[in-house]
Amino acid sequence: MTAAKQPGRVSKPQYYLNIAKEVARRSTCLRRHYGAVIVSNDQIVSTGYAGAPRKTANCTEIGTCVRIKLGVPKGEHYEWCRAVHAEQNAIIHASRFEMMGATLYLVGVSPDTGAVIKGAEPCRICKRMIINSGIEQVFIETAPGRYQVQQVADWTRHNLGELKKVKGRLVPLMPRGY
């Protein structure tokens, strides 16, 4: 029996994305506020937000961000960032057993405007961690009330877009900025 849609009731994906958006409000990153929620069998397993490692100074306390200061484009030089990403924090706070077959919900919000970040998606390192965690799909809010779904199996099938075939061999692609 399928439940009838109730007026004013949000869908399950939007419910979890709304929670991820609230989690993002804890972010201490000056550049982007991200929140992640891992759900398995309709149960929240873990949450995470972007912030400095425990017991270390965060960018909000310091009052500056090296990547902003240097004008580093999105997707480059994450090694200069003090923050542990929201996806990473959510993954390290859950067991792999809990994440097998789970779904990750991710929302990025501008700290300046509070608007949902269009084109938000996990970075390459987070994608690798998501693959190894056993998570099967990722819902990403693209605008208020709108989202896209990424299948983790597609990332593995396409080698995360990091390789291409040249004369029958797989060759690494260099990331932007190198």
Residue 50 CB-half CA count within 13 A: 27
159 Cα distance to chain centroid: 18
Q: Which of 76, 87, 136, 162 is catalytic?
A: 87
What residue type is 71 in one-letter code?
Answer: G
C-beta of residue 108 within 8 angstroms of C-beta of residue 116: yes
* Known catalytic residue at 61: no
Cβ-proximal residues to 126 (8 Å cutoff; 6+ apart), any chain: 85, 87, 88
3-state secondary structure of 35: strand
3-state secondary structure of 56: coil
130 by DSSP, 3-state: which?
helix
Instruction: Show the tokens assigned to 78.
Output: 């994450």
Residues noted as catalytic: 87
